[in-house]
Structure 1
């Protein structure tokens, strides 16, 4: 059986983290904090080091396809894992309008359209990914990796060609909205840094997980950090105050640095990249929703299509409907994609809080990985607070998940059997990794059992990774 190499693992991590946000986040961050938003980018890159190290340590210690849901369940039980599932599932329709509008902004920029063009493009993108998944079709992981690589190449070209036009006085005034705005900008940037946990679900596929996963993560950290910092810094130095007033900063950089019809090419790439990324999120979230229904964490109506090889059309229909309603709300109120980004970032941040908290409980006391987990937990908890009033949405989803889980368990005693910690998977019952003590198993369930929510969250994370 073929095994994943370090370069392949690094490519998956880069593809998971370097998503659609980079084509618009420099503008959103600049709107909030002005040129001082560069400090938010630096802070998020610095935070990525202990955060990525934490999930890499969890991946090597628990080389299991369950990913973050496995860690949360082992540390805190089934209800916390249900919260993770709900946060992932409902974050997709919440973030869909923003992701689709990012592509729409590049189409409008290329062809001289207005907000109507942005919204129409966004509606077509949402409809496309919904219909594609209804047919059971998926854009291949290889194609999505190619698109992510193309985006990385465009970022390098935009940065290198536009830098000669940089002016230091474009950074003045540096903090027009105050220093606290930097924290708010960092909370928004979570959108662009979500994904460090995704490759951990593939840890068992490495030839030597204990060695290869940290190396792949390290390579991804360097590449993502350089690309993000390069495009954000260049945007501020070249565009100045215009960075926060445009919805397509990358197109402006390419137009300044390269010229010609580059904006049309950039719009096409942004459109394809957005469709590919949203297709993966819709595919994974639809399967997650069906599994949550089958597992009792959502109404049983959602469970249709939860069996392997089936299409979860009911769950997918809910995602498409909620996404359309969210886009209609954006169109009716006249607000931009920023609200959608902030609400979705809050959901991702809570998932990281639970994942880091699980790492603090599961990783060996006194180890460097546990210390990284402590730093990560403090940092992402601060980010959750910096989300401000937008965290109320995330808390509402979490409370609803807990109340629903409690109601279902009180009414269905058989669901209590799913609450204990799962038994170790085959990869966990094999010989322990060098220098890593085997995980403690506290389950009395049947051999080979893993709750369905863990398996399907892993599917979602794998989809995001590719």
Structure 2
């Protein structure tokens, strides 16, 4: 297979940054400032530091086991092939919910700029998601390039917002530094936890790199630096210019831009929200669709979904399933007036369960990597603490695990699954016979 169908460092970094740099930057600086005042910046710094061990763990796993199964492959390697289905289902079926919630966040900013309501937010969300699915249908070569353009534009906009607002900084906005006590810093860090997630999503892209062992450490390091600079820059500038007044507004990026460009800032922020949303959902769809194909390949989902599971191919059938589930969810949200909070919390419960599985696998698999294993242990402890706060929403990941085990039970007689350990043999057999279909780029 030609290496031209693989992604490189630039496109990979754009996909990683798009997944990790979520819509939180549009609202979380205000939310954490209300929670902990200027001391919320400590929480931001802690979460940036937290990115290092968790990213190192997933990068180490991706270097050792580059495969579209991502976390599901890691779990199978660590705990046996029967664990790949439950872990894979947790992420795969959370992708429509997670991408829908992210798109609704972006849609709400556009709707606000246009004077629309929740229905308009859903319509904008549907448009953004449609574009992301089309982008992935055309292949990672286009999707990764588009991601690079969007992330670059977004980063430039955030840098401009920081630059135009910085002259209006006031030192008194940092006093008192911890008006609500230091315990509030912990509460702010909890709010920020999901703003720094996304590493589990891009783990499914590890097999798409032309040289994972060389490229993944570079991509991971660049992603951490970009996310740290942009998040800390916006949070610090927002505090210095706007303070921690609860009435200062929930869209700090708009308020910062207003310092330099005036009333047009609302429209600019709406565009930024749309770009940021597209970048995020594009990365999650790219990873999720490849996971679905890998699960189909291994018999953990219907084998028809396995078409397009090889690196460089387009998992079109998996994309169709994800797009259909997403469309159903958006229609239900419109008809039943389901709001953002329950959708986002449901997705988060599944994604955190994926983190628990992936990091548990890392603890076992990375015994020869001191830094990677230490990162896995530290991250696993932190994630387990957060996992306990989801309450009844934990029934969703439990239900998906049960569904996966039931599927495994009733399909066990259909022949042995390929499993992650047989991927190389299967690909070798595939290469040895003529193919009637061209490889998609």
Q: What interval of TM-score do these two structures reach, taking the shorter chain for normalisation?
A: 0.7 to 0.9
Maintained 8 Å contact 1:26/1:243: no
Residue 126 of structure 2 is matched in structure 1 by 126
Residue 422 of structure 1 is matched in structure 2 by 421
Distance (whole Å) between structure 2 residues aligned to residue 353 and residue 98 of structure 1: 22
Residue 376 of structure 2 is matched in structure 1 by 373
Residue 239 of structure 1 is matched in structure 2 by 242
Question: In structure 2, do the counterparts of structure 1 residues 79 and 323 end up closer, same or farther at CA, with 3 Å as the change threshold?
Answer: farther
Residue 322 of structure 1 is matched in structure 2 by 329
Give the counterpart of 1:54 among 49, 57, 73.
Answer: 57
Residue 397 of structure 1 is matched in structure 2 by 396
Maintained 8 Å contact 1:18/1:192: yes
Question: In structure 2, do the counterparts of structure 1 residues 61 and 191 end up closer, same or farther at CA, with 3 Å as the change threshold?
Answer: same
- Bigger shift: residues 238-247 or 210-219: 238-247
Maintained 8 Å contact 2:360/2:376: yes
Deviation string for 1:112-144 (max 9, x for gaps)? x3xx53541333322552587489855733222
Distance (whole Å) between structure 2 residues aligned to residue 224 and residue 136 of structure 1: 24
Contiguous gaps of at least 5 residues in structure 1: 427-445, 451-466
Maintained 8 Å contact 2:56/2:220: yes
Give 1:231 shift. 0.7
Residue 188 of structure 1 is matched in structure 2 by 191
SS of residue in 1 equivalent to 2:422: coil
Maintained 8 Å contact 1:25/1:189: yes
- Provide the TM-score with structure 2 as the length reference: 0.79
Residue 437 of structure 2 is matched in structure 1 by none
2:7 counterpart of 1:17 = no
Give 1:415 shift. 6.0
2:281 counterpart of 1:278 = yes
Distance (whole Å) between structure 2 residues aligned to residue 420 and residue 383 of structure 1: 31
RMSD: 3.8
Distance (whole Å) between structure 2 residues aligned to residue 83 and residue 137 of structure 1: 26
- Provide the TM-score with structure 1 as the length reference: 0.75
Question: In structure 2, do the counterparts of structure 1 residues 409 and 103 end up closer, same or farther at CA, with 3 Å as the change threshold?
Answer: closer
Give 1:159 shift. 1.3
Give the counterpart of 1:160 among 155, 159, 163.
Answer: 163
Deviation string for 1:65-114 (max 9, x for gaps)? 43222111111234532333233234334334542343234335534x3x
SS of residue in 2 equivalent to 1:241: coil
SS of residue in 2 equivalent to 1:360: helix
Give 1:399 shift. 1.6
Give 1:201 shift. 4.6
Give the counterpart of 1:352 among 352, 355, 378.
Answer: 355
Question: In structure 2, do the counterparts of structure 1 residues 320 and 286 end up closer, same or farther at CA, with 3 Å as the change threshold?
Answer: farther
Question: In structure 2, do the counterparts of structure 1 residues 166 and 373 end up closer, same or farther at CA, with 3 Å as the change threshold?
Answer: same
- Bigger shift: residues 223-232 or 358-367: 358-367
Question: In structure 2, do the counterparts of structure 1 residues 127 and 156 end up closer, same or farther at CA, with 3 Å as the change threshold?
Answer: closer
Contiguous gaps of at least 5 residues in structure 2: 309-313, 431-441
